[in-house]
Structure 1
Amino acid sequence: MKPLSLPPRLLMGPGPINCYPRVLTAMSQQLVGQYDPAMTGAMNEVMALYRQVFKTQNQQTILVDGTSRAGIEAVLVSALEPGDKVLVPIFGRFGHLLCEIAERAGADVHSIEVPWGEVFEPEQIEQAIRDVQPKMLAIVQGDTSTTMLQPLEHLGEICRRYDVLFYSDATASIGGNPFETDEWQLDAVSVGLQKCLGGPSGSAPITLSDRYVELVRKRHHVEAGIRESAHQSGSGSRIRSNYFDIPMLLDYWGEERLNHHTEAATMLFSARECAINLIEEGIDNSIARHKLSGDAMLAGIQALNLEPFGNLKHKMHNVVGVEIPDGVDGEKIRQQLLLDFNIEIGTSFGPLKGRIWRIGTMGYNARQDAVLHTLQSLETVLRRAGHKLPAGGGVDAALDTYAAARDAAI
């Protein structure tokens, strides 16, 4: 067996992306024991750092070991008892994922939908809350399947008015688009590292309001390492997972450090560095960088006689959907980019399967050279496939976008 040697791909799809070099360096640190003061100190730092990332005062801000889906499952399975009503507004693939996980927890799931490429107005969600009277509203902020960003800023007030828990997954959007946990009155948020945060998949930061924590604590409590039945603590049922039991995770991350699992140390180091990187750059600066690179990619795409997908008013900063032109083999274009230019862009699925590409500009790859290299390479393979386009148009349009931003900053 030879040492592992992977090709030097430029990951310009909807995620995962190339890690920031400093994140890779952090992951190479030697391990220490899970109760070593160096380790517990790093855990405390991570909690404090992600309060800044989430823009929250929530004390209960921790990591769930696993991909971003682990964070979603922990939040849902810990809060939802069999028969609880959940409202899920679906505007892409990941709304369907929230429905499936909630159903597996035994919840009574209600959904509303808009066509892929659109988002919900607050009035639509409020009407559904009035009709369903759910325990929880569960929604994604940015859905990479459609490249759309759902506005959340009015939903927290609506949820509080109707006494509904408000949960959002922001894996695809946080760090590259505005996100305000406390200001928007969210009760639970989960994310992953592999998008705008610029890390690998495998750790799921979450933050939880006191209201959410009080609710899940009522289902059972952990005392002296012994899990007690939910019936003993006055609730109707036990949490249906041991690994994703948030009260147990909170006790593991809390001052008592009650053993639950062995923390994934390398992923903790990675998550820590992702947060430090974002905070050192400045969250607003990171959002502006993602918007600029996203705008440059969009301008370049349009200059190549390609049509962007969906309502651009609600497009995420960090990914654009591109309609595959008539007469062009979309998968062949992707394969040529990957094998000839070492560039990966995304395909799609569901109602958009075979219809669009998804091109990301996020994290470490939200930078000018990555955008220009992708546009130049895409132009080449499209031209050779017979697509009519102006030579150099994509790169020129992107360069003009970056130049205009520099001029405006002077």
Structure 2
Amino acid sequence: MIPGPLDPPARLLMGPGPISAYPSVLRAMSAPLVGQYDPFMTSAMAETQELYRGVWNTANEATVLIDGTSRAAIEAAIVSLVRPGDRVLVPVFGRFGHLLAEIAERALAEVHTIETDWGQVFPASVIEEAIVRVKPTLLALVQGDTSTTMNQPLEDIGDICRRHGVLFYSDATASLGGNAFDADAWGLDAATAGLQKCLGGPSGSAPITLSPRAVEVVTARRRIEAGIREAGDTSSADFVRSNYFDLAMILEYWGPRRLNHHTEATSMLYAARECARVLLSEGRDEVVARHALAGRAMLEGVRGLGLTVFGDVAHKMNNVVAVEIPDGVPGDAARAALLADFGIEIGTSFGPLHGRVWRIGTMGYNARKDAVLTTLVALEAVLRRFGARVPVGGGVEAAAGVYAGAA
């Protein structure tokens, strides 16, 4: 039997991502397709590059999209910047630090990690001590880790890396657009993200920006690789083993010569362009402030329900909060009831936090007052159903107070 047309249920996605996309992003994705070398297409690519320079707050010419989820951009950055045998240092404060370490291991790097408790971040001094000890080629550091909701400060890390001759890469998938990110001012050599969180789009396109120093690393490997291919020595450490994620080739595709590498994912390009356009039209600082306000409202709202917030709140991302599941409340069943009865999705967590916390997001299109208050009303009702004693209207009252105070 042939199924009918897609008819997804109405959902308010208030988890750690993906989130509900901006309506204009969904409209952009339905625009007609054009050929990959159509003047309209190449113009849209150039516009998208310039828009994301504004999003990243950078002058980097090498600012492009990777066709794939945010993990595709992470892999492209690491496999292109790291030679087999290079030392890579990964400070781990949540699940996604472990992901960076795994990808670096697959790139045949010598991976070194330092760890801190989930719910904490690293002081810059601790990272510098590890750099001095390990002497890495690359520091790979998550900015915002949704598994813990923590936002690692990056402001001082670039200077540390420069002093010690280390490339500095950050995964900003969960944080870009909802938290400050200043690629040039902070000395980033590479940074990657995805659309499905604060940027307010669907998963499937991944912005990346590379400093001139990083571009020189990937293009130098490209030049050396040409000689490797002629010699037939594919065991060389300079040989980039991925074709799809070879940034030197991708930059040539996005560059003025438009050398064919793959067929650009047209509808995702449209989505990425619109995500950036929406953000910059509102104003980068204004969007961060909107996320900060919605995040404060949700934080005080869950506290108003008597829930305990997980982690170091002083270093929490603007766009997601983790709350301890009350004793006696079945976490998964309560989340299922919230989805089935109210059409609202919140998240569970991973590793040591699995079954211990819920993660509630206020991102992109959903970083707004009505979404926050609706979620708190529904959460209160579900908590009561499962026997939790919570203040009547406490969540909405606390959150509304935050909004009133900001008016």
- TM-score, with length taken from structure 1: 0.96
AA in 1 matched with 2:158: G
Tell me the equivalent position of 2:332. 331
Tell me the equivalent position of 1:322. 323
Tell me the equivalent position of 1:342. 343
What's the CA shift for 1:272? Answer: 0.3
Pairing 1:371-382 to 2, within 5 Å after superposition: 371-382=372-383
Tell me the equivalent position of 1:294. 295
SS state of the match for residue 47, structure 1? helix
Tell me the equivalent position of 1:61. 63
Cα separation, 2, equivalents of 1:205 and 1:355: 32
SS state of the match for residue 321, structure 1? strand
1:106-143 Cα shifts (integer Å, max 9, x gaps):
00000000000000000000000000000000011000
Contact 1:220/1:232 (8 A) holds in 2: no
What's the CA shift for 1:240? Answer: 1.1
Cα separation, 2, equivalents of 1:388 and 1:229: 70
What's the CA shift for 1:62? Answer: 0.3
Aligned: 1:268 with 2:300: no
Tell me the equivalent position of 1:196. 198
Cα separation, 2, equivalents of 1:337 and 1:208: 41
1:369-399 Cα shifts (integer Å, max 9, x gaps):
1000100000001011111111011001111
Cα separation, 2, equivalents of 1:247 and 1:21: 34
Cα distance change, pair 340–405 in 1 and its aligned pair in 2 (3 A)? same
SS state of the match for residue 207, structure 2? strand
Contact 1:221/1:247 (8 A) holds in 2: no
The alignment of Structure 1 onto Structure 2 pairs a total of residues equal to: 402
Aligned: 1:228 with 2:229: no
Cα separation, 2, equivalents of 1:73 and 1:237: 16
Cα separation, 2, equivalents of 1:328 and 1:278: 38
What's the CA shift for 1:334? Answer: 0.1
Cα separation, 1, equivalents of 2:182 and 2:389: 43
Where do 5+ consecutive residues of structure 1 fail to align? Answer: none
Pairing 1:234-245 to 2, within 5 Å after superposition: 236-245=237-246
What's the CA shift for 1:349? Answer: 1.1
Cα separation, 1, equivalents of 2:194 and 2:222: 27
Tell me the equivalent position of 2:398. 397
Pairing 1:253-264 to 2, within 5 Å after superposition: 253-264=254-265
Q: 2:87 aligns with which of 85, 88, 96?
A: 85
What's the CA shift for 1:230? Answer: 4.4
What's the CA shift for 1:218? Answer: 1.1
Contact 1:144/1:319 (8 A) holds in 2: yes
What's the CA shift for 1:220? Answer: 1.8
Cα separation, 1, equivalents of 2:161 and 2:399: 41
Tell me the equivalent position of 1:307. 308
Cα separation, 1, equivalents of 2:145 and 2:228: 35
What's the CA shift for 1:181? Answer: 0.2
Tell me the equivalent position of 1:114. 116
What's the CA shift for 1:296? Answer: 0.4
Cα separation, 1, equivalents of 2:94 and 2:132: 23
Cα separation, 2, equivalents of 1:231 and 1:163: 29
Pairing 1:73-222 to 2, within 5 Å after superposition: 73-221=75-223
Tell me the equivalent position of 2:19. 17
What's the CA shift for 1:80? Answer: 0.8
Cα separation, 1, equivalents of 2:74 and 2:387: 43
Tell me the equivalent position of 2:74. 72
SS state of the match for residue 167, structure 1? strand
- TM-score, with length taken from structure 2: 0.97
SS state of the match for residue 177, structure 1? coil
Q: 2:37 aligns with which of 35, 38, 43?
A: 35
Where do 5+ consecutive residues of structure 2 fail to align? Answer: none
Q: Percent identity?
A: 64
Contact 1:80/1:107 (8 A) holds in 2: yes
Structure 1: 4+ residue segments shifted above 6 A = 231-235
AA in 1 matched with 2:56: F
What's the CA shift for 1:231? Answer: 7.3
Cα separation, 2, equivalents of 1:125 and 1:194: 29
Contact 1:95/1:140 (8 A) holds in 2: yes
CA RMSD of aligned residues (A): 1.4
Cα separation, 2, equivalents of 1:161 and 1:155: 10
SS state of the match for residue 139, structure 1? strand
Cα separation, 1, equivalents of 2:34 and 2:341: 42
What's the CA shift for 1:2? Answer: 1.0
What's the CA shift for 1:236? Answer: 4.0
Cα separation, 1, equivalents of 2:200 and 2:98: 26
SS state of the match for residue 242, structure 1? coil
SS state of the match for residue 329, structure 2? coil
What's the CA shift for 1:221? Answer: 3.5
1:141-189 Cα shifts (integer Å, max 9, x gaps):
0000000000000000000000000000101001110000000000000
